[in-house]
């Protein structure tokens, strides 16, 4: 039985190896590619990014190949990146959208796809319904419809442009002069190397916990629930930090 792929404003999420399979991901990306081409038949470019979840790199490669087959230039982010940075990159790169493989705060067995429109915002219902229609049309055509290999993928670094913007709107001098110590806990997620790096660059004392890749997120959903903050609290006590 064919899985029905439904997009909400937070995208499509499902359990890996159950509904979130390579076959279903291909169907979803074909639907997105067909939608993008319907909006911009020639010269489109789409950002492809991910969070640190299992097989993220493989999914990005798969999506890039499908986009290319539709004549769309994939702008690929090599490292895991937070959703706000990917959204901002859409506007700065003047891209025609972004495919972001992420399940946000869902448990580690989940993955998902978020599609952002050219303004960097999550796709609204009128867009997601069109994508679902395109997936159905792709299925009805027997899984055919893309052409031959098209544009080569290009690399994109959202971190550089996102941190550059934050430097413009965050007064790091004020934070540094306050003399505070900070503990940063990204919960093994995509924010590693963003806020913490910006603060360190500004001369703020920052200690980090859980700042390495773990596709199981320590065995929990990657969200700051009270019962998951023990390591952060302990590091705050150890370093006499004021903020965590």
pLDDT of res. 1 = 63
Please tell me the distance from the alpha carbon of residue 68 to that of residue 84, in angstroms, as a whole number. Answer: 25
The single residue listed with the structure tokens 């190949």 is 65
Please tell me the distance from the alpha carbon of residue 13 to that of residue 112, in angstroms, as a whole number. Answer: 4
Q: Which residues pair with 205 in a beta bridge?
A: 181
Please tell me the distance from the alpha carbon of residue 204 to that of residue 183, in angstroms, as a whole number. Answer: 11
Tens digit of each residue's pLDDT, the chain (244 residues): 689 999 987 899 999 999 999 999 999 999 999 999 999 999 999 999 999 999 999 999 999 999 999 999 999 999 999 999 999 999 999 999 999 999 999 999 999 999 999 999 999 999 999 999 999 999 998 887 777 778 999 999 999 999 999 999 999 999 999 999 999 999 999 999 999 999 999 999 999 999 999 999 999 999 988 888 999 999 999 999 999 9
Domains and their CATH numbers in the chain: 12-157 (3.40.120.10), 170-239 (3.40.120.10)
Q: Which residues pair with 111 in a beta bridge?
A: 14
The answer to whether 239 and 206 have CB atoms below 8 angstroms apart is no
pLDDT of res. 106 = 95
Number of Cβ within a 10 Å radius of residue 32: 29
Catalytic residues: 104
- Which of 170, 154, 166 minimizes the C-alpha distance to 194? 166
């Amino acid at each position: 039985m064919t899985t029905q792929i439904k997009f909400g404003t937070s995208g499509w999420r499902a359990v890996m190896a159950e509904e979130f399979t390579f076959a279903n991901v291909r169907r979803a990306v074909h639907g997105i590619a067909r939608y993008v081409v319907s909006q911009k038949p020639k010269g489109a470019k789409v950002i492809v990014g991910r969070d640190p979840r299992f097989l993220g790199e493989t999914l990005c490669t798969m999506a890039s190949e499908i986009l290319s087959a539709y004549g769309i230039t994939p702008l690929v982010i090599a490292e895991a990146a937070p959703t706000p940075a990917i959204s901002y990159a859409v506007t700065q790169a003047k891209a025609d959208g972004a495919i972001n493989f992420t399940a946000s705060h869902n448990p580690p067995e989940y993955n998902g796809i978020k599609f952002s429109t050219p303004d960097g915002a999550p796709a609204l219902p009128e867009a997601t319904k069109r994508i679902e229609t395109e997936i159905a049309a792709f299925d009805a055509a027997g899984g055919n419809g893309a052409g031959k290999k098209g544009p080569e993928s290009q690399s994109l670094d959202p971190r550089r442009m996102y941190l550059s913007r934050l430097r413009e709107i965050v007064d790091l001098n004020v934070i540094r002069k306050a003399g505070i110590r900070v503990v940063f806990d990204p919960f093994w997620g995509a924010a590693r190397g963003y806020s913490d790096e910006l603060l360190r660059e500004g001369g703020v004392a920052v200690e980090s916990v859980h700042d390495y890749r773990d596709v199981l997120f320590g065995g929990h959903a990657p969200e700051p629930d009270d019962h998951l903050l023990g390591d952060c609290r302990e590091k705050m006590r150890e370093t006499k930090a004021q903020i965590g």
